[in-house]
Amino acid sequence: MYFRGGGLWQQLCTQRHNGESTVRHRDDALGLKFRPGFRDGLFKGLSPLRYDEPLFYGLFRKHVFIVMFEKPAGIRFTRSPSGGGVNKERQTANPAWDWQFLIPKYEVKSEYGFRARVVYRERCGRDKVLRELRDWHRGRFGGER
C-alpha cells in the first residue's frame, strides 16, 4: 500500500495481521479507547506512519488500484498482509487494502458518509496517480490514461 506522507511516498507493508496496520492522517488526533481484554483488530494496530494526501494505491500484476477520498476527516488507511485470503497456487497470502471511517462524536439516528472514488487502470507513474486525485477534486474525469 503506497501513500503520500511527510512530503514523500511511503509504503505500508505490515508484517502480520493487526500489527501496525492502520495509517492516520497527519492531523488525526483521535485516540480510541478499548475496554481491557478487547480483542486485537486492524483498527487498534496503529502505524507510526501518517498520510498527507487522501489517497492510497496498490499494485496488482499490470494494474494499479487507486482509492481516493474527498476529505481526510475520519478516514484511516488499513492494510493486512493476509486479509485477502490465501493463494494456494502461488503459495502466498493475498494482502487486503482497506480503510476505516470513524465518527468520534456521533448522534443516534443521524446520517453520516464520505465520498470516495476508486480507479483501476494500467500501471502508471506516481505523477498520474496524483493527477487522478487532483482531476477528481476539480470535477474532471476520464483524463489521460
Look at 12-16, 22-26, 44-48 and tell me which has the smallest mean pLDDT.
12-16
Contact present, 77 and 1 (Cβ < 8 Å):
yes
**pLDDT per residue as tens digits for the range 79-130:** 887 778 888 898 888 888 899 999 988 999 999 999 999 999 999 999 999 9
Contact present, 45 and 21 (Cβ < 8 Å):
yes
Pairwise CA distance, residues 58 & 60, whole Å: 7
Give me the pLDDT at residue 31, please: 81
Count the residues in the chain.
Answer: 145
Please identify which residue in the block is written with the cell numbers 501496525: 20
**pLDDT per residue as tens digits for the range 112-121:** 999 999 999 9
Contacts of 10 by beta carbon, 8 Å cutoff, 6+ apart: 2, 3, 4, 23, 49, 51
**Bridging pattern class, strands 46-51 and 22-25:** parallel
CB neighbourhood size of 102 (10 A): 15
Q: How far apart are the first and last CA of the chain?
A: 21
Give me the pLDDT at residue 94, please: 82
Give me the pLDDT at residue 145, please: 42
Contact present, 35 and 80 (Cβ < 8 Å):
no
pTM: 0.85
Give me the pLDDT at residue 83, please: 78
Residue-averaged pLDDT of the chain: 89
